[in-house]
Chains A and B, each alone.
Chain A
Amino acid sequence: MLTKLVFEFLQSLSDIEIVGGLTLLSLLIGGIIMGVGVIIARTARLLFTKYYAPTLPQDSAKNFGKLIYFGIIILSFLVFTSTTGVDFSGLLVAGGIFGIVIGFATQSVVSNLISGIFLMIEKPVKQGDKIEIPGSDVSGTLLDISTFSVRIRKFDGTIIRIPNESFFTSNIRSLSSTPVRRSEAMVGIAYKEDIDAAISVLEKAIRNSLPFVLILPKPEFRINELADSSINIEILVWHPRDDWDQVGPKLLKVAKNAFDAAGIEIPFPQRVVWKSQE
């Protein structure tokens, strides 16, 4: 009795034509197919994220996850269209013309999309890397490379979004691709001071006060310039790549304190004016 009722209901749905051979029944079947497709896509992405993604780099895992999800959705849509029996060729022709119009109007969007794809293929940097874009004030941690843009968390805590095209065509300086980095500072001593003694003072101070400075390669001290008022010593020290903040900003303070403690003069610009006597 119930089966008969359901059958009659479905029969009535198949009689109701919406447009060009598309009946309410085929639309219902299509809806079920799409629904099942979405459930399968979500389950597949979940399983992938849980079991396989941890073994892949973060950005690759994210992109594969998207590929699986949208791949299954598109597949479901194709199954849906084939079951409805609707002829989409007319729609495709109209869509082609419409696509050209949209293409002209959305050049930058497409450009960002293509750049994003190239960024994912070339991988100049990866998620979590510390990067700097020379010539701009952008430096920070790369959060993600998405379809149209790149997000960077700057060192001041704010997040900046850069369109993929602009990021792809920029010079990118990676601060994370090597195990160590070098920091530099310049400090001047008076001409009356002993250069070797001053370097020895700096060496000891760096050894004692900056635990992140590498023993090897050794810190280097170069006489950079015999300047107007001072002998300028350039200090070059290596440290682990993620510990710039423990070394770079502290280097000058350590040098100044060490020179003060050792009685070594850091001169300031001076002019000696000789007054002639007739």
Chain B
Amino acid sequence: MDLLQIKNMNEDTNSNYSDYGVYSIEDSLELLLPDTIIKIKKIGKNVFSYTRKDAEDNILEKTIPVSSSELTIELAPIRPLNYPARRTDYLYLDLDTPIFLSSGASAVVLVNCPIEIGVFIIHGGNKDSLDWFTCNHVDSRFCLYGNPESGTLCNYSQSKIVESIDSSTPFRNAVIEITLKNELSRGITVSKLVFPISEHSIYYKNSKAIVDSLNGTFKKKLTLEISDVDAVAIQTDWTKSPTYERIENVKHIDLGVD
């Protein structure tokens, strides 16, 4: 099937996309994702080939020798930190509708959060990263929070407020619950959220994904107004994604209130 056909076919419906999850391959497997096709085929005794093709006809091929006659892989959402390159742990969510919080108020909102896709090989209880990619090349960009001398480089994403945790777009984004609390003596408008996404785990079910929650408190520290953000692990029966990238300790920054 041609990618252009797939793209046109899926413009109105997402029903033809593959799901996240674990796949056992004895002979061949074809996974269909937005603008991307993954093909895994047995090419010899205990040898498989892996091919990924995107909408711009970029092809990635790998040969996978395995110890048994079967290959088990996991297709899972991963943190959006690798495209175009791994440069930062921070994510900048630019809310399309700013949230107003009056003094002392708090709010819980669900917003979209970008993801990338990871392919992992499962063997003997271990999960090894085979490949990663994004199904959203055009929107995966960097931005700067702060000034050019001392600001923080972030992965940028425009984010919509959604109604439920099932409102993610398959393979393009996930949903994150954000609890905002305003402890300042004045009302504030929140139009962007900047936080280290490397502290958040991602969970999936079918083709939907959710991210660990985020608590954001706007408060006064000495004379400065800052926003204090923390990751909060969620309790869910969704499957937790393996970790693609090496986790490093992230230096926390105090985010200013504009």
Contacts and interface: CB of A to CB of B under 8 A. Distances in A.
B142 A208 contact: no
B62 interface: no
A179 interface: yes
A240 B87 CA distance: 8
Given A178-B148, A179-B151, A180-B148, A215 B138 contact: no
Interface string A245-275: 0100000000000000000000000000000
A: contact size bracket: 10 to 19
B143 A179 contact: no
Contacts of A216: 92, 143-145, 156
A207 interface: yes
A215 B142 CA distance: 6
B156 A238 contact: no
A243 B138 contact: no
A211 interface: yes
B156 A212 contact: no
Interface in B126-171: 137-138, 140-145, 148-153, 156
Given A240-B87, A243-B85, A215 B141 contact: yes
Contacts of A201: none
B151 A214 contact: no
- Among B83, B144, B153, max chain A CB count under 10 A is at B144
B196 to A, nearest CB: 15
A178 B153 CA distance: 10
Contacts of A239: 142
A215 B143 contact: yes
A207 B152 CA distance: 21
Nearest to A212: B84
B144 A238 contact: yes
- Among A178, A179, A212, A213, max chain B CB count under 10 A is at A179
A277 B150 CA distance: 67
Given A215-B156, A240-B87, A240-B153, A180 B144 contact: yes
B138 A214 contact: no
A178 B143 CA distance: 14
A240 B85 CA distance: 10
A217 interface: yes
Interface of B: 83-85, 87, 92, 137-138, 140-145, 148-153, 156
Top 4 nearest A-B pairs (CB, nearest first) are A211-B84, A216-B143, A215-B143, A215-B156
